[in-house]
Structure 1
Amino acid sequence: MLPRIIPSILSVVFFFSFLFFVAALLLQFVRLDPDDLENQEVFHSAPYDVFVYSAFYYNTSKSLGDSSMVILATADFEVLEHVKQLELLVINDTNRVMAVAELERVTIHDACKWIAMTATAEVVLNPSLLFVSLGGNHAAIPFEVVSTDPVPVVMCISPLFAAENWQNLLVSLHVYKRFGAHAHLYIRSVVSPMFEILRVYEMEGYVTLKPWNRINLLNRDERDFNPNLNVEFRSQAAAQTDCLLRYKESAEFVAFVDLDDLIIPRMANNYVNEFRFLAAENPTVAYFTYSKENTRTRAYKRANVFSIEHVLRSIQFEQATETGKMIAIPSKVNNTWIHWTHKSLKKLDVEASFNSITHLKHIDMLDGMGVDHERVPQYNPTTGADAEKPLISNKNIKMIEKDFNRMSWKSSIRRHLRSLPINMTYSKMISDCYKESYYTFHSANENHGMLCPGPERCDISAHKTRCWNSVGEYHSTRDGKLINIHFAENSDFALNDDGCQV
C-alpha cells in the first residue's frame, strides 16, 4: 500500500521542519567554532543515549513556576547517576540566556533498562528557540507552548499498538463524551478502518490523536542494541507524563486509563463534579486512585449490528480486582509513572463502595445474541458496594446509544464500519506474548525469567510492517561523560493486512 501522510499531521511535520530550519540559521549566527564539534568516531562510541519525546513551555504554571520549560525523554537509568542536569540555551526576541534543567526520574523502578525522565528549568519569557547546550555545542529542540484553554477532565489513553479492538474504542469514546471528558489517545499503530473512524471522532471533538514515536537511535544499529526492547509497555509512563504536561494548565483533572477502562461517575452526573467532590473532601491530596474491577460482557463482532447499549447492558462484575489507575490534579503533579508517581505525593485510594474503574476485561464476541433491553447492569465490585444500585442509569444508556447511532450513520464513518476486523488476530498474539514474557512471572512473583514488557518482544511480523522515523541528533560531552540526544519527529500510521500507512 502506498504511504499516505494525513493532513492534520502534515502541518505539524512542516512546522517542526521549519523550526529546525530556523535553528540551523541561528546556529550560523551563534558562530560555533568548528573545532568544538564532536568527532564522529567519538560520537559512535558514546556510552549513553537520550531520546527526547517532547518539550513544553509554560508562560505561567502553578507548580512548575513561571516561564518554565520541561523536556520529556527516555534513556538508560544509569544516565541519572552521571548526569544530574542539562544546560539549555534559550532565546527570545531580545535575550539569549543559559539555563540549568534538573533531571528527574519518572519511572519508579529499574526493571527495564530504559526509563522515562524529565528535565525542568525556568527560562526567558516567550522563548522562540530552545537548544540543548553540552560541551560547547548547541542543538535545537522543538517545543510547544502549553494551552490554557479550559478542558475540565481529560482521559489520557495508553499508547495503542497493533490496535484492532474497535468495540472497546467506541464504547470508551461515547461513555467519556457522555460524562464530560475529552479523550487524548496515543497511537503507535492501529488497523486502518479504525484509524479512519478515529479521525472523524477527532473532528467531532471526542478525542485528540497523538502519534507516539518508536525510539530510533540514529547512531546505533538495532541489531546491536534495540532500546524499544528495554522500555516498559511502549514507554507508557512517558506517554502519561506527556499527556499530563500538555493539559497541565488547562485541565482540572487528568485521568490515566487503558482503552478497556471505563470510569462511570456514581456520586455525580459527570466526571468533574465527582472529582471535585473528592478533591474538596480531601484538599491535601495530589491524586486519587480508582481500583480496577474486572467484568465480563458481550458484543457483536460485526460492526453493522454493533450496539454500545448491548455492551453496557451485558456487563457483569467478576469479583476480581486489579491494580488501579490514577486521576491527577495537574496543578499538584508534574510527572507520573503508570499507576502512581515517583515522588512521595499524598494520594487518596478511593473505596470501591464509592466508585471504581469498570474494567472490560473479558468481552465475548458473538455473531448474534439475545439482549434484555430493560436490564440495567448492577454495580457489584469485589467489596463494599450496594448491589441494588445500578452501574449506569437506563437514561444514560439510551443517550449513549443515541449518540453512537448519530455518529455511526455519518457517511464518513459508515463506509469504514464494514472493513473493521471480525477476528482479533493481533490482540490474541500480543496477549499471549505478554503472558509468556511477563504476566506469568509477575503473577507468580518470580523475577527470574521476566522480561521488560512491551510489544516489541512480540512477533507479529506476518501481519505488521513497521513505519516510523526520527530526525535530528545531538552528541556532546559533559564532565567527561558522552551523551547522545535524539529528537523524535511526529509521525502517524495505521496498520492493515498489508502493512501500514504513514
Structure 2
Amino acid sequence: MVDLKKMKWVFVITVSTIYFLTFFIVPTILEDGDQYLIMYDSFKNDLADTFFGDPVTNTDAYIVNTYYYPKSKSLGENALAMVLLMNRNTMRDITKYKMHLVATNGSGYSVDIVPKIVVESYSGCAYVNVVATTNSLPNLSKLEITTGETRMQIPFRHARKTAPAPVVICLSPQFISEQWQIFVAHAHISRHFGGHLHLYITSILDQYFDLIKEYEKQGYVTIDYWMRMKFERNLNSTEPNSNVEWRNQAGAHTDCLLQYKEAASFVTFFDLDDILIPRGFNTYFDEFSSFFFLNPEIVTLQYPKREMMLHNKPNMSDMNFQEIFGHSWFVNREDAGKIVARPSSLNSMWIHRSFNVPDKKLHLVKNNFLLHMQKPFDTDGQDSVPFGMSNYEMMDDLKLNISILEPIQKDFEKLMNSTVVQSISERLPTHSYYFVILFRCYYKKGYMSTCPNSEGCLIPQRSDMKCVHSDANYKSGPQMEPITYHYHENPRWSKDIGCYT
C-alpha cells in the first residue's frame, strides 16, 4: 500500500508542475502569451468566486464618451458603445458587473437594457479602460443609468458616418507637447500615403497649437479633446488621473476606434512619433488590404517599431524629408509593436493590442516596421536624453528608397508658401525644454511602476512658454450603489490652465 504522505507529495508536485507549465513556462516559449495570462486571471477569479463569492464595493466611474449606431456591422442595429473608466475594486471581476440602462426613443417608449462589459488593461492600476456595448431602440432620444429609483441621464452622440480618408491614424493623447517637427513630418507622410491623423490633445504649447489648427484647416489632421478626469462629488474617492494606465491611452484608442467604426476602412493606433511608410505599395490602404486578403482569418495587424535617428531643425523652413528619412541609422532592435485594424471587426483597444482578440487572429508583420522617432537630437546637436542614449548603427538594408520622399517634400514646400504657415513658423520654439523633463519623469514613473503614468511629474511653469489645455464642464451624477458616475460636457480649449499633464 502506497504511503499516504507520499501520495500527498506526488499530488502537490503534479498540480504545481501543471500550474507553472500552463501559466508561466508555456507563455514565455510561445510568441505571444497574453491569452494565457487572461485565462490565468479568469481562472483565479472563478476559483475565488466559488469559495468566497464576489463582494461589491462602492466606487466611481468616469464616462469618456457614448456612441450610438443606427446600424453597425459588428454591433448590430441601434447599438450603443460606451467608453469609460471603472474601478477594478468594485468587484473581483468587473466584467460581471450588471450596468442597468434605460433607453427612450422619440415616441417616449422605454426599454431596460444591460450592456456587455469588456476590459482593455494590462497594469495594476485601480481604474481600467472599459467598453460597454448593447442594443437599444430606433430613434434613440434619451439614455439613462439607473439603480432602482435613482437615475442619471447620459449624453451620447452618433458615431461618424464619413471619414476624411480610408485610413485613419489614431494618435495617443499629447500632453505639454512641443515636438512640432515630428508632427509636421507625420502629417505630410500620412497625407501622401492616403492616411488622416486623428490627434487627441490634453495640453500643447500655444504656438504649436496654432500650427496644428492650420494643418487641420488644410485637411491633414482632426484635433480632438482629451480630458483630465475630475469628480465634482465624492472627493474622497480614489483619484482617477494618478491611478490609470498611461493617462488612459487605451481609452483614447478605443474612443477613436468607436468614432470611425462605420466610417473608415482601416484604423491604426500609433503614437505621434511612430511613422509608417509602406514598402512595396503606394498607399496604406493597399498594404493593409494585402495583409488582410492573404490572412482572411485575422482581426488585427501588429507592426513592430524600430528607433530611427532624428535631428530636429530649429526652423520649419529648414526641414528636408530626404535628410530626415533617407539615411540608414537605426537601433538594431525592434520594440513592442502597434496595431492596424478593420474598425468594423473590433470593438475595443488597448495600447499595443486588443486583449479581446485571440492570438491566432493577430498577425505580426515581418516585412515592414514603424519608424520610431522617440529621442530626437535637439537643434544644437546634443542628445536630448543623455540618461537614456540609444545605440545607433548603420543598417543599409533598412534604408528607404529616397525617391518616394520627393513628392512629400514638394507637398511640404507647397504648404510652406502659405503666409499663414510662415507667420506661425516664426513663433515656434527652436529648442526642446519640456521634452527632456517629461522623458525623465516618464521613465521613472512609467517603466518602473505597477501603475505607469505621468501624474505627479514636476512641470516648471514659464512665463515665456504658454500652453493651450483641454477643459470642460465636469458633472457628477447622484450617489449610486455601487458605482457613482461622472462625465463632462461642453469641451473647449483654455489658455488659463497652464502646461500640465
TM range (shorter): 0.7 to 0.9
CA displacement 1:377-423 (0-9 Å, x = unmatched): xxx999xxxx55742x3333111111111222222222111221122
Inter-partner Cα distance in structure 1 for 2:213 and 2:139? 32
Q: 1:305 to 1:109 in 2, by over 3 A?
A: closer
Q: 1:319 to 1:388 in 2, by over 3 A?
A: closer
Q: 1:179 to 1:204 in 2, by over 3 A?
A: same
Alignment RMSD: 2.6
Q: 1:350 to 1:225 in 2, by over 3 A?
A: closer
Q: Residue 471 of structure 1 aligns to which amino acid in structure 2?
A: Y
Matched with 1:189 is 203
Q: Residue 334 of structure 1 aligns to which amino acid in structure 2?
A: N
Inter-partner Cα distance in structure 2 for 1:458 and 1:417? 29
- The secondary structure found in structure 2 opposite 1:142 is coil
CA displacement 1:143-167 (0-9 Å, x = unmatched): 1112232541110000000000001
Q: 1:339 to 1:482 in 2, by over 3 A?
A: same
Q: Following TM superposition, by how much is the alpha carbon of 1:178 offset from its aligned partner in structure 2, in angstroms?
A: 0.5
Q: Following TM superposition, by how much is the alpha carbon of 1:476 offset from its aligned partner in structure 2, in angstroms?
A: 4.3
- The secondary structure found in structure 1 opposite 2:77 is coil
Q: Following TM superposition, by how much is the alpha carbon of 1:495 offset from its aligned partner in structure 2, in angstroms?
A: 6.7
* Aligned partners of 2:90 and 2:482 also within 8 Å: no
Q: Residue 477 of structure 2 aligns to which amino acid in structure 1?
A: Y
CA displacement 1:121-145 (0-9 Å, x = unmatched): 1000121222222232222222111
Alignment of structure 1 residues 153-302 onto 2, 5 Å = 153-221=167-235, 225-302=238-315
Q: Residue 488 of structure 1 aligns to which amino acid in structure 2?
A: H
User: Gapped runs of 5+ residues in structure 2?
Assistant: 1-56, 383-392
TM-score normalized with structure 1 length: 0.79
Inter-partner Cα distance in structure 2 for 1:366 and 1:342? 40
Q: 1:161 to 1:435 in 2, by over 3 A?
A: same
- The secondary structure found in structure 2 opposite 1:430 is helix
CA displacement 1:416-453 (0-9 Å, x = unmatched): 112211221111111000122232x3xxxxxxxx2522
1:340 to 335, 350, 353: 353
Q: 1:270 to 1:400 in 2, by over 3 A?
A: same
2:420 to 397, 412, 425: 412
CA displacement 1:231-265 (0-9 Å, x = unmatched): 11110000000000001111111100001101110
Inter-partner Cα distance in structure 2 for 1:159 and 1:251? 20
* Aligned partners of 2:328 and 2:399 also within 8 Å: no
Inter-partner Cα distance in structure 1 for 2:323 and 2:423? 22
User: Identity of paired residues, percent?
Assistant: 29
Matched with 2:18 is none
TM-score normalized with structure 2 length: 0.79
- The secondary structure found in structure 2 opposite 1:421 is coil
Q: 1:101 to 1:203 in 2, by over 3 A?
A: farther
* Aligned partners of 1:202 and 1:208 also within 8 Å: yes
Matched with 1:105 is 118
2:471 to 468, 471, 483: 468
Q: 1:220 to 1:423 in 2, by over 3 A?
A: farther
Q: In the alignment, is residue 62 of structure 1 matched against residue 73 of structure 2?
A: yes
* Aligned partners of 2:445 and 2:454 also within 8 Å: no
* Aligned partners of 1:297 and 1:314 also within 8 Å: no
Q: Which moved more, 1:314-323 or 1:196-205?
A: 314-323
- The secondary structure found in structure 2 opposite 1:366 is coil
Would you identify which runs of 4 or more consecutive aligned residues in structure 1 move more than 4 Å? 387-390, 463-467
Q: Which moved more, 1:304-313 or 1:61-70?
A: 304-313
Number of residue equivalences = 426
Q: 1:127 to 1:279 in 2, by over 3 A?
A: same
* Aligned partners of 2:106 and 2:141 also within 8 Å: yes
Q: In the alignment, is residue 436 of structure 1 matched against residue 436 of structure 2?
A: no
Q: Residue 186 of structure 2 aligns to which amino acid in structure 1?
A: S
Inter-partner Cα distance in structure 2 for 1:262 and 1:99? 45
User: Gapped runs of 5+ residues in structure 1?
Assistant: 1-45, 370-379, 442-449
Inter-partner Cα distance in structure 2 for 1:381 and 1:228? 41
1:317 to 301, 320, 330: 330
- The secondary structure found in structure 1 opposite 2:253 is helix
Structure ID, larger Rg: 2
Matched with 2:162 is 149
